[in-house]
Amino acid sequence: MSAKRKAVAEFLGFTLLRIALVLVLAAIVILLWDIVRKGGGTLTWAFVSQLPRRGMTEGGILPAILGTVLVTAVTAFLAIPMGMFTAIYLNEYARPSRLTRIIRLAIRNLSGVPSIVYGLFGVILFVNLMKFGTSILSAGLTLGLMTLPWTITASEEALKTIPNSYREGSLALGATKWQAIRTNVLPYALPGMLTGTVLGLARAAGETAPIMFTGAAFSLPFLPHSIKDPFMALPYHLYIMATQHHDLAKARPLAYGTALVLLLLVLGMNTVVAVVRARLRRKRRS
C-alpha cells in the first residue's frame, strides 16, 4: 500500500470513529434537551410541593417525590451496611479459596439479574411470604437487594485504595485485625465507600420494574403514614402518566415535568458524588 493510500485510509478510519462519537454525544444532548425544554415549563415550586388534583391532570407530584425519598431510605438502610460489611469481609478477611471465588461470582451474577426478576422475587419473599404487603418496606427491601452488588463493589474499590502499610503499622504495634481495620482502614476508606454507595442509591431511585408490584401505587391523594403503606414513586408515576393515564394529552406536560424532576434527582446525586470525589482526590494528593 502506498504511503498516500495509507494516509487516506487512516483519515477515513479516524473519521468513522469521530462519527461514532458525534452520534453518541448527539443522542445524549437530544435526550437531555428534550426533557429540559418540555419539562422546564411545568417545573414550578407548586409542581414539587402540591398534591395531584383532578385525576392527576393538575397539581403537583409531592407524594411521588416523598415516596421515592422514603423508599430510597429503606434501600439505603439495607444496602449500605450490608454492602460495606461484605466488602470488608472480601477485602480484609477472605483468603483466596474456592468459597471466596464463589462469593465473588455470586455478586457479579446478582448485578446481572434483571430488575423485573428482583421485582418477582420481592413479590414472593417480601409481599407474600413475609406478609409486608405492597408497601414502602417491601419495595425498599427489593431495591436494597438489587443495589447490594453495586454497594459491595463500590465499597471494595474504596478499601483497595488504602495502602497495606496502614494495616501493617497498626498490626505491628500489637493491634488485633479488627482494631487495625477499625482505626487504620475504615476512617480513611469511609468517604470513598459512601460516595460509591450513593451512586448505587441514585440508580435504585430511578428504577421502576422492581417496585411496580411490590408497593408503588397508581395514585394516592395523600402522603404515606408508615412504611407499611403503598406509595407513589417518581419513576412509576412517570410510567403511569406516559402510558396509563385516562387523558394522555392532558397528562403529557406533567409527564415531562415528572421526567425532569426524576432526571434532576438522579443526575444531581451523581454530580454531588463526582464533586466530593474530586475534592477527596485533591486532599489525598496534598
Partner 1 sequence: MKSQARNDRHDSGRARRIRESAIRGFFFLNGIAAVLILAGIFLLLATSAVPAFREVRIGEFLTSAIWDPTSPTKPFYGILSQIASTLLVTVTAMLIAVPVGLGVAGYLSDVAHWRVREIVKPVVEILAAIPSVVVGFLGLVLLGPALAKLTGQSNGLNALNGSILLAIMSLPTIVSISEDSLNAVPVTYSEASLALGGSRWQTLIRVKIPAALSGIIAAVMLGMGRAIGETMTVLMATGNARAFPHGLLDSVRTMTSNIAVELGEVPYFTTHYYALFAIGLVLFVMTFAVNMIADVVLRKYQERER
Secondary structure letter of residue 156 according to DSSP: H
**147-176 binders of partner 1 (CB under 8 A):** 148-149, 152, 174-176
Q: How far is the CB of 176 from partner 1 (least distance, A)?
A: 5
Binding segment toward partner 1, per CB under 8 A, in 47-55, 58-66, 102-110, 224-232: 102-110
3-state secondary structure 83-135: HHHHHHHHHHHCCCCHHHHHHHHHHHHHCCCCHHHHHHHHHHHHHHHCCCCCC
Query: Which one of residues 48, 51, 69, 116 is an interface residue with partner 1 (CB under 8 A)?
Result: 116
Write out the three cell numbers for 252.
403529557
Query: CB under 8 Å to 62, separation ≥6 — which residues?
Result: 48, 49, 50, 51, 223
Counting other chains too, the contacts that 109-116 makes at CB distance below 8 Å and 24 or more residues apart are: 110/145, 110/148, 110/149, 111/149, 111/150, 111/153, 113/146, 114/209, 115/146, 115/207, 115/208, 115/209, 115/210, 116/209, 116/210
Q: How far is the CB of 132 from partner 1 (least distance, A)?
A: 15
- The nearer residue to partner 1, 154 or 238, going by C-beta atoms, is 238
Residue type, 1: M
Q: How far is the CB of 59 from partner 1 (least distance, A)?
A: 20
Q: How far is the CB of 217 from partner 1 (least distance, A)?
A: 11
For position 178 contacting partner 1 by CB under 8 A, the verdict is yes
The SS3 call for residue 216 is strand
For position 177 contacting partner 1 by CB under 8 A, the verdict is yes
Size of the site for partner 1 (CB under 8 A): 88
For position 37 contacting partner 1 by CB under 8 A, the verdict is no
For position 77 contacting partner 1 by CB under 8 A, the verdict is no
- The nearer residue to partner 1, 225 or 282, going by C-beta atoms, is 282
Query: What is the spatial distance between Cα 240 and Cα 181, in angstroms, rounded to a whole number?
Result: 47
Query: Which one of residues 191, 270, 276, 277 is an interface residue with partner 1 (CB under 8 A)?
Result: 270
For position 103 contacting partner 1 by CB under 8 A, the verdict is yes
For position 35 contacting partner 1 by CB under 8 A, the verdict is yes
3-state secondary structure 33-62: HHHHHHHHCCCCHHHHHCCEECCCCEECCH
List % helix, strand, coil for the chain (3-state, nearest 5): 75, 0, 20
Query: Which one of residues 56, 71, 74, 145 is an interface residue with partner 1 (CB under 8 A)?
Result: 145
For position 49 contacting partner 1 by CB under 8 A, the verdict is no
Q: How far is the CB of 219 from partner 1 (least distance, A)?
A: 14
For position 41 contacting partner 1 by CB under 8 A, the verdict is no
For position 242 contacting partner 1 by CB under 8 A, the verdict is yes
For position 188 contacting partner 1 by CB under 8 A, the verdict is no
Binding segment toward partner 1, per CB under 8 A, in 43-51, 58-66, 120-128, 222-230: 120-128
- Distances, alpha carbon 234 to alpha carbons 129, 174, 246, in Å: 27, 52, 18
- The nearer residue to partner 1, 156 or 229, going by C-beta atoms, is 156
Q: Are 72 and 78 in contact (CB under 8 A)?
A: no
Query: Which one of residues 85, 247, 281, 284 is an interface residue with partner 1 (CB under 8 A)?
Result: 85
